[in-house]
Each structure stands twice: as structure tokens, then as C-alpha cells.
Structure 1
Amino acid sequence: MLLSVMASRRDALLYLALAAVWGTAFPATKAALADFPPVLLGGLRFTLAAVLLFAVAAATGRSLRPRGPGDWTPILVGGVFNIGAHHALLFAGQDYVTSAVASTLLGLVPVLTPAVTAVFRPDESISARGVAGVLLGFLGVVLIANPDPDNLLRDVGVWLVLASAVAWVAGAVFTREDAAALPGLSLQAWMLAVGALALDAVSLLLPGQGLAAATPTTESLLWVGYLAVIPGAFGFLVYFRLLHRLGPIEMGLIEYVIPPFAAVFGWLVLDESLAPSTVYGFAAILAGFLLVKWRHVQRYLRQRIDGTGPPSAD
């Protein structure tokens, strides 16, 4: 009982920590893009992150050699879809659309994930109240991003970002570690390495995305290091651990928790303004989460009122 409660609280704290560090990645990426082309930046970020995780895995005595389909399947699926395809398509799309439009389109991830999960993982589902919460959360993302509706569907960038959202959902739904023999840290190191190789290959193929287009400064190199270590190595290690424990639907909802952190971090660090619609967006996301997690909230309040202690993990 006690261990399950501790695990539940630990997962909640890790979930919020992940949303926070991934929220900082948006303004940090914006700062680094001043001196690095987007796809090259992604390749460098995940190459450094993979090297760091491999070093930690080796230093702590973890096995590093994949053995059979149980290891290679999540490595290739997570690496190709969540790291490589998602970021390559997203960065390519951001050459055509604004960050607000990209953020709004990525907000479709929690909407698409339950539908895909219902087809391929029918053991996991979401209630009608949960669906309403997901849609309310999406409204909150729209309010925070505040995209221009006249430009939302006009160019190829929209379809590239949509494809990046689909790639992310595919990776989340089909990355299964149940049969893996490798420890989680080693699996995540390999996933980041596979994704980094894919991004490096794309940077060589796309005009203006190679090393020749970079003009690094001390500040931008520090941002690259930050992106590699905190949102990169730490962020994806936590993401895939929580994905294994909580499932794709729960983890898809993190796309609704990230925008508030991104907005606040941009306001604090980059002097970006917070519009009144941002506050309304925060409220809509919070209300959406309460709807999705209503059964858990109700149980918590009932046990607090009855004095029976904290709820057990679900």
C-alpha cells in the first residue's frame, strides 16, 4: 500500500518535472536557433544527450548490448518516430509556420492518442468525461498559442507539423518495453542515438541545415548544452519511463501541461509577454485535467474528508 502510494506521488512529480523541462525547451530552442539551423540543432542536441546516457549507463554497470527483438523493437520505434521523424518533420514545418500554429497542432497529440490507442491497444481506454477534458485542454492550448486562423491551413508547414504529431503518437502507442532485456537507461540511450542519426542524416540532405550554416556563439552553445542535458537526456529518460508505466493516453496529455511552463519560462527568461488569453488557457487546461482525472480527484477528496488517508495508486 505504502509503496504504491509513493510510486503514484513519484510519477506525479516526475510528470510535472517533465512538463516543466520540456516547457523550457521551446524558448531555449528559440534562443539557440539564432545561430544554428533547426535540423542540425536537433541532431546535435540528441547526439550529445545519447552520449551522456551511454556514459551514465556504462559508469553504473548497466548492460549496453541489445539482445533480440524485445530490445530492438522499442529502440527503433522510439528512436525513429519519437526522436527522428517527429523532430525532423516539426523543424521542417517550423520553417513555414509560426510557433503558435505549431504549438496548436501539437496540441492534437492528446486528441489523436486515445483514438489510435483504442484500435491498437484496446486494453487502455478513456471515458466520455475524459474525452471532454481532452477537448477542453486543447482549447486551452489554442488560447495560449493564439494562432492566426487566416494562416492556419495555408501552406505545407501545417501538414509537416501534423505529420510530426502523428509520428509522435505512433511512437507513443507502439513503443512497448514489456519484452525488453536491457535496463531502461540503456534503452533510452539507444533510442536517442537512433533518433540523432536520423536527424544528422536529414541535416546533410536538406539545404541550409548542415554545419556550414551554423554560426555558433558562447551563448548559443550553452543553450545547445542545456537542451541536450535537461530536456534531452533527462527529459526523454523520464518520458519513456513514464510511458512504460502510465501508457500513451496519460502521457499524451503532457502536451497540455507543457504550454503553461513554456509561456512562463519565456516570460521570465526571454521577456516574452503573457497575454490575457494565456491566463484563460491555463484555466482551461486545469479544468480539462480535472475532468480527465475526475475519478482520482473525487477519491482523493473523499478520503481526505473521511480521514482515511491518501489514495492508493491507480
Structure 2
Amino acid sequence: MSTGRDVGLFVALAAIWGTAFVAIKAGLSYFPPVLFAALRYDIAGLLMLGYAVAAVDQWRPHTKGEWSQVVVGAVLLIAAYHAFLFVGEQSVTSATAAIVVSLSPVLTTGFARVLLPDQRLSTLGALGLAAGFAGVVIVARPTPDAVFSADVVAVGLVFAAATAFALGSVLSKRIAASLPIETMEAWSMLGGAAIMHAVSYLLPGEAFADVIWNGEALAALGYLAVVASALGFLVYFELLDRLGPVEINLVSYVAPVFAAVAGWALLGEVIDAGTALGFAAIVFGFALLKRRAIARKLSAA
């Protein structure tokens, strides 16, 4: 990060996405989880589509490849990721959810090595992937008599969310399409919201009548839709162009710090030593997997 503007935007994005986990946790007191996620992306998708219409030349997909990219984004990057995350976060702290989600860049690299023909996983890369998985196990800390406890299952659901996001990221790269990222995100958000509404309709306890509408509920929904999704992705797009994929992935490892601090200050959540150790293992795994790219960045700096 070569300028103060880059650093400022990076920290702002980490803060926005870290505190988003706290907003999810707070909002789950008032919304059924899948319906909550769907409503978030109803709003965010419309805002992002409006931005795409104003900012890019192509505001909607045209080719089969472009629609395929949107379908992958809607199913995996939006619907599966957020449905699993919102359901899982009912039983884990904001910081724990953020830490498990921080495994996504590690999983993305692992999927890329398997699914992209020009990628290959070295011995150190395999160790990095194993370290990331070990970090999730440390965070979950399953015991033989409590493998299916609510906490362990919840961590598993958040891990499924991270896996869906990583797989979607890699599959979208395999598709031969040049859809602007703003357009892809907008239509993926709207498609993902529609999928989550359908899933919500089929689940018990997911009716609009189960929503408790009050100021805190609206604040949580508004923050997630407008700040964390629409504004957050706009900041992400700019940083991706300016910094590249390696440095922007580091946001995943700063966001849990903001999630932990905000969760403690606003919700009284506490992060224990085991969770912190699991986070360290995930960061170590990312460092092993991206060691060459990180070394090039440090050398250039």
C-alpha cells in the first residue's frame, strides 16, 4: 500500500466488513436468519444495479458465459455463503464467525490448485491448506461427546459459508466472460436474494410475521445493506484495482479484529485464547500458500 489513501480505504473496508458480523449478530434477534440475509441483498442488489447502470457501459449480462457467471455468483457467492453464515452466527460470536470466514482466501487457493489447469499445489502449499483447516478445528474445539453440539455445528455452518464463497470465486474465474465486476455483483446479489427468499419460504419460522420491526432491526438491516454491502463493495472494487488480489485478501485478517472489538463493546462478546490460536493458524496457512506473492510485494515495497 503505497499511499495514505490506500491505507485509509483498506482500514475502512476492514472496519466495515468486521463490524458487519456484529450487525448480523444483533439483527438475528429480530429477523429469521435466511430472510434477514435475503432482505439485505434485496436492498444491496438494487443499489448496486443502480450504480452499475450509472458507472459502467454494460449494466446487464448478454452472453451465455456472462449469465453463467451471474448464476455462480448468485448461488455460491451470495445465497449459499450468506444463508450458511446467518444461520451459523445464531450460535457463535461475531469474532468467531469472522475468523472462520477468514479461511476463504486459503480455501480459494486450494480450489484454484484443483480446478484451474495452470495452478499447482506444492508441499508448502499443502501445509498451508492443512494449517487453515487446523485453525477451524481449533476454533470449533469438538470433543468426542459433543461433536454435534450447537457451537460445533454452528462453526461447521460458517465453514460451509467460507467454502461456498471460495468455490464460487474459483468457478467464476473458469467461465470465459468479461462482465464488469459491478454488473456481475449487482445481478448476483439480486439472484442470490431471490434464491434465499425461496429457501426462507420453505423453512419453518421464516415468515415475515416472525420479524420484529423496531429501530435496532432497521439499523442492522440498513447497515448491512447500504454500508457493508453497497458501500463496502465499492471500496473493495477500488482497492482491488489499486492493490491487487494479494493485499486485498489481507482484509480478511484485519476484519476479525474489528469484529472482536465491536462485539465486545456492543454485545458483550468475549474472544478466548483458543479462538485466537485458531485465527493465528489460519493466517499462517495463508502466509504459506501466498508466500511467493507476499515476498514479491515485500521486495517491491
Common fold by TM > 0.5: yes
Equivalence for 1:128: 123
2:178 maps to 1:171: no
Instruction: Please report how far the alpha carbon of residue 193 of structure 1 lies from its aligned counterpart in structure 2 after TM superposition.
Output: 0.7
Cα shift readout 1:259-290 (whole Å, capped 9, x = no counterpart) = 33321221233332343445545655554454
Distance in 1 between the 2:2 and 2:169 partners?
25
Instruction: Please report how far the alpha carbon of residue 13 of structure 1 lies from its aligned counterpart in structure 2 after TM superposition.
Output: 7.4
Q: In the alignment, is the contact (CA less than 8 A) between 1:139 and 1:281 conserved in 2?
A: yes
Q: In the alignment, is the contact (CA less than 8 A) between 1:141 and 1:259 conserved in 2?
A: no
Distance 1:98 1:273, change over 3 A: closer
Q: How does 1:1-314 map to 2 (within 5 A)?
A: 18-60=13-55, 62-93=57-88, 98-99=92-93, 106=101, 109-110=104-105, 112-139=107-134, 145=139, 147=141, 149=143, 150-153=145-148, 157=153, 160-161=157-158, 163-176=160-173, 179-236=176-233, 242=240, 256-277=253-274, 280=277, 283-284=280-281, 287-296=284-293, 298=295, 310-311=300-301
Distance 1:164 1:287, change over 3 A: closer
Distance in 2 between the 1:73 and 1:148 partners?
38
Instruction: Please report how far the alpha carbon of residue 103 of structure 1 lies from its aligned counterpart in structure 2 after TM superposition.
Output: 6.2
Instruction: Please report how far the alpha carbon of residue 206 of structure 1 lies from its aligned counterpart in structure 2 after TM superposition.
Output: 1.2
Distance 1:227 1:60, change over 3 A: same
Percent identity between matched residues is 42
Distance 1:28 1:160, change over 3 A: closer
Q: Based on CA coordinates, which of the two structures has the bigger radius of gyration?
A: 1
Distance in 2 between the 1:203 and 1:218 partners?
23
Distance in 2 between the 1:222 and 1:246 partners?
33
Instruction: Please report how far the alpha carbon of residue 167 of structure 1 lies from its aligned counterpart in structure 2 after TM superposition.
Output: 2.4
State the one-letter code of the partner of 1:167: A
Instruction: Please report how far the alpha carbon of residue 225 of structure 1 lies from its aligned counterpart in structure 2 after TM superposition.
Output: 0.5
State the one-letter code of the partner of 1:183: P
State the one-letter code of the partner of 1:89: F
Distance 1:170 1:133, change over 3 A: closer
Distance 1:29 1:200, change over 3 A: same
State the one-letter code of the partner of 2:225: A
Instruction: Please report how far the alpha carbon of residue 46 of structure 1 lies from its aligned counterpart in structure 2 after TM superposition.
Output: 0.8
Q: In the alignment, is the contact (CA less than 8 A) between 1:70 and 1:177 conserved in 2?
A: no
Deviation larger for 133-142 or 165-174: 133-142
The 3-state SS of whatever aligns with 1:175 is helix
Distance 1:107 1:237, change over 3 A: same
Instruction: Please report how far the alpha carbon of residue 184 of structure 1 lies from its aligned counterpart in structure 2 after TM superposition.
Output: 2.2
Cα shift readout 1:69-95 (whole Å, capped 9, x = no counterpart) = 232121110111110122223434556
Q: In the alignment, is the contact (CA less than 8 A) between 1:114 and 1:125 conserved in 2?
A: no
The 3-state SS of whatever aligns with 2:173 is coil
Distance 1:205 1:290, change over 3 A: closer
Deviation larger for 75-84 or 86-95: 86-95
State the one-letter code of the partner of 1:205: L
Distance 1:152 1:26, change over 3 A: farther
Query: TM-score of the superposition, structure 1-length normalised?
Result: 0.74
State the one-letter code of the partner of 1:80: V
Deviation larger for 74-83 or 271-280: 271-280
Q: In the alignment, is the contact (CA less than 8 A) between 1:79 and 1:195 conserved in 2?
A: yes
Cα RMSD for the two superposed structures = 3.9
Distance 1:72 1:250, change over 3 A: farther
Distance 1:75 1:297, change over 3 A: closer
